[in-house]
Chain A
Amino acid sequence: MSLITQVLTALGWIVVLLAISPMVWLIVQPYFKGWSRAERRAADLLRDTLTPEQFRQLVWRGYLEVPSPTEPQRVYRVPRTKGYIQVIENGRAVMRLCVQPVESLPDADVVVLHKLMIEANEENYLQKANKYVCID
């Protein structure tokens, strides 16, 4: 294939991409806008629910530690994004939990959900969770 043909093919593709990009943007734009609005609202709720120390921990370490209300040596480590909740007892990871809402939620809302469930509904939370025991 000659150089001229290659250049013309490339130019043709560029023209096609430029032509369809506004249409693609019109289609996906509402999803981007909707999601970012949802994330912003969820972030507001997260800030309202956490203490400044907890918020800093979540931002810098990537997880939030929620002490068990019933077992003083137990802490739940909730990740900032989707993932397992680690159960730490006496400084050692003993279990991983998988619990998720039936409805898709922004990540920040999921953190709040775990915190509230652990603090005020721990028994029910543990009943619902799928448990994976950590073996050294």
Chain B
Amino acid sequence: MIRVMSRRGDDRITWDEQKVLAGDPEATAAVREAERIFAQERAKGATAFRVEPGKPSQRIDQFDQTAEQIVMVPRVVGG
């Protein structure tokens, strides 16, 4: 799943990794869309984190379809 923070809360896209591996067209399309959003948000300055329960979060620079959850946060500035 990818979750992108925004003023609307977070927008999310989910996919089933097993279905992607099995070639399911719907799951594959979801992954492609998630990958496109990942690239688009990164281009806007967002930072991506791989978040898994019980593990420290990890910053990622490349889209990882095997990640249980990717959270994208917008660019931050000093206030």
Contacts and interface: CB of A to CB of B under 8 A. Distances in A.
Interface of A: 34, 37-42, 44-45, 48-49, 69, 98-106, 109, 112-113, 115-117, 119-121, 124-125, 128-130
B78 A130 contact: yes
A38 B56 CA distance: 26
Interface residues of B, number: 24
B7 A103 contact: yes
Contact of A105 (B57, B59, B74, B77): B74
Nearest to B69: A48
A113 B76 contact: yes
Contacts of B45: 102
B6 A105 contact: yes
Contacts of B13: none
Contact of A101 (B9, B59, B75): B75
A121 B9 CA distance: 22
Interface of B: 3, 5-10, 45, 47, 49, 51, 56-59, 69, 71, 73-79
30 contacts: A37-B8, A37-B9, A38-B7, A39-B9, A41-B9, A42-B10, A45-B3, A49-B51, A100-B77, A101-B5, A101-B75, A101-B76, A101-B77, A102-B45, A102-B77, A103-B5, A103-B6, A105-B7, A113-B5, A113-B73, A113-B74, A113-B76, A116-B57, A116-B71, A117-B73, A119-B56, A120-B58, A121-B59, A125-B76, A128-B78
A16 to B, nearest CB: 34
A44 B51 CA distance: 14
A99 B77 contact: yes
